Amino acid sequence: MPLTAPPTAAAGPGSYAVTQTHGAKFTVLTTNNLVTALAYNTVYNLSTTSTGAHRLPFPLHLYNSTYRSIAISTNGNIQPGTAATVVATGFQACLPNPAFGRAALLAFYFGSLSFNSSNGQGVFTRTRGKAPHRTFTVSWQGIELITAPTTVNVQMIFTEGTQTVRYVYGPTTSQSAVVVGLQSKDQTSSTQVHCGGSTLFPGAAGLQLTFTHLN
């Protein structure tokens, strides 16, 4: 099933274009797991100033803004530059979504997700390469909490010094009621690939969505 991206609400900080390709490699991660137990509706905060395996390795650039901290939500999204806050999945409105207030949002599979570290599931991080050409990956490897739990494997990849973001999908069960896209702080600009409803988001293994900043 082809994916389509509705026109962006371009303003203020510019806009993003999204392209889709197939055949991308999803690598299952086993180290740097943020999850310590059965996790649901949880947030993990990383920054460039913190220490340890889970620190943010370099500032992220999005919508012409620089972020030195991010909140990683088990609900399938990243909120750059925010405090320890989780927006409930009940706020899965189409983008731009005002429920996030002043926070920017990157949503790859915004839904009710869960992770059990005893089963090898979790939210993992990985940094590769050497400065100033590093990549930082956040990998969600778990299930969606619905009547019949389904598989979710998605990675969000940031490249140092650029505003480009990639979403890479591994084995993932197609589901509705998920939101895919990104939006700037204050909701002045957004790019949406999928918005809930009864239409399934394919999320096929090997799918890659590349979001490129335009201006």
> What is the structure's pLDDT at 1?
43
> What is the structure's pLDDT at 5?
46
Domain presence at residue 52: yes
Domain presence at residue 100: yes
Query: What range does the domain containing 80 cover?
Result: 16-213
Provide the number of structural domains found in the chain.
Answer: 1
User: Distance (Å, rounded) from C-alpha 115 to C-alpha 113?
Assistant: 7
Q: Are 168 and 181 in contact (CB under 8 A)?
A: no
- Eight-class DSSP state of 98: G
Across the range 192-198, mean pLDDT stands at 82
Domain presence at residue 79: yes
Between 114 and 7, the higher pLDDT residue = 114
Six-digit token string for 195: 């918005």
pLDDT tens-place string over residues 122-144: 999 999 999 999 999 999 999 88
Domain presence at residue 117: yes
- Alpha-carbon radius of gyration of the chain: 16
pLDDT at 7 over 60: no
pTM over 0.85: yes
> What is the structure's pLDDT at 89?
58
Between 74 and 166, the higher pLDDT residue = 166
Across the range 45-62, mean pLDDT stands at 93
> What is the structure's pLDDT at 145?
76
Six-digit token string for 31: 């180290």
Domain presence at residue 131: yes
Across the range 20-31, mean pLDDT stands at 95
pLDDT tens-place string over residues 146-159: 766 688 999 999 99
Domain presence at residue 181: yes
Kindly tell me the burial class for residue 182, based on how many C-beta atoms sit within 10 Å of its own C-beta (0-12, 13-18, 19 or more): buried
C-alpha torsion angle, residues 167, 182, 195, 23 (rounded to 10): -20
